[in-house]
Structure 1
Amino acid sequence: YTSFGSWFLWNAYFRVWSLGQILATFEINRSYARFLENHDPKVLERLERQAPDGAIPDYAPARKLLKAMSETVQEVQNGHRDHREAADVLIRLLRDADFVPPAFGLADPDNHWTDASTAKILQTLRWSRTQAPKEIGDLTWEGLTLFIKKRFDREEFKITEELTHIAAGWPLIGRALRVPEPK
């Protein structure tokens, strides 16, 4: 909660936290897709090992960045570092890391929109094959492509359910498709 006391520190902290969430999501997506292939629980062992750390990959530079973020914020909490200086440190950590997917703009403190649009996903896939460190590149590629492949599998993706979900948001037509409001 320390970062909440300063917009600048929160902005920087959120970006590092987002990176951790992105990498963890890729790790979970990859494991889920591999598990669906043959239902072998051994593919989930990697996630079990990582569980205490929230599925953050066993990639030393990522773990080091997250530890540095934690220590920097603790220095602010303990009154040993100024919040603006700490925010600058966190942004510098992101800029210096070669494993941060650039399409999401996490290393740019002036970028206030970190969506995962189709264009950004395609840029991230290209980055994963051309510029990312191999371990993170493989994680990113597999975390995205295996998930997309499984997401649109016949047993996983039901077009009628997807269309119903979309139509439920429409003002008139969707009313009959929505879950009733609690009374």
Structure 2
Amino acid sequence: MSFKFPSIYDFPPFFTKQVHSQTLETQKSHWIQLILDYCRFNKIWILSLNGESGDSTLDHVDPEDEDDDDDYAEVTKQSLFTNNKIDRSLKSDFIMEIYNEMISKEKAEWVNPKNHKHGIIVYWHTLEEWANIIFEWIDITGQSNTVLTLYELRKGDLAKTQEFYGMNPTVLIKVLNVLVKTDRAQIMKDDNGKIAGVKFSDK
């Protein structure tokens, strides 16, 4: 089963930044919804500047890398921002504008705010919504007061049918931090400071 693109995706002007301000806002709104739907369907947690999955690169990001001289990335034929059927692609500066709009609406955040080349983390659910989804699942499955590893949360047998199954580890940690701040979870670390497990409360 493949993702079904909306009809507007085959409309050539959809790939050209509109001049009229109201039309432009509508255009960006459609693009944002398309990005959220596409990433949700394909379980893409990180979207690169050229509109491809960037999940495999997140764990290699250097938070101190401030080399942000180039926000340009070539949009390929495999990109979400390319429609080969009508031979149209978004320009990189407009993609950046759409990404910044998503960030302002809390639908995304930069993987590295100091270096945009690593792309964005996409939130089809907010961190708070993800936290509620995971906590409810913990309660329903009777796993309160049980220590679970990150792997069990992301890839465990009980999680296979859940929307958060396969969640990028960095995104999961952000969600767990929300639960910690609301006293619904405790994070346990090993001697090296790495997360060894998570214990969820029963409140």
With the length of structure 1 as denominator, give the TM-score of the two structures.
0.25
Between structure 1 and structure 2, the one with the greater Rg is 1
Larger RCO (alpha carbons 8 Å, 6+ apart): 1
With the length of structure 2 as denominator, give the TM-score of the two structures.
0.23
Decide which structure has greater strand share. Answer: 2
Decide which structure has greater helix share. Answer: 1
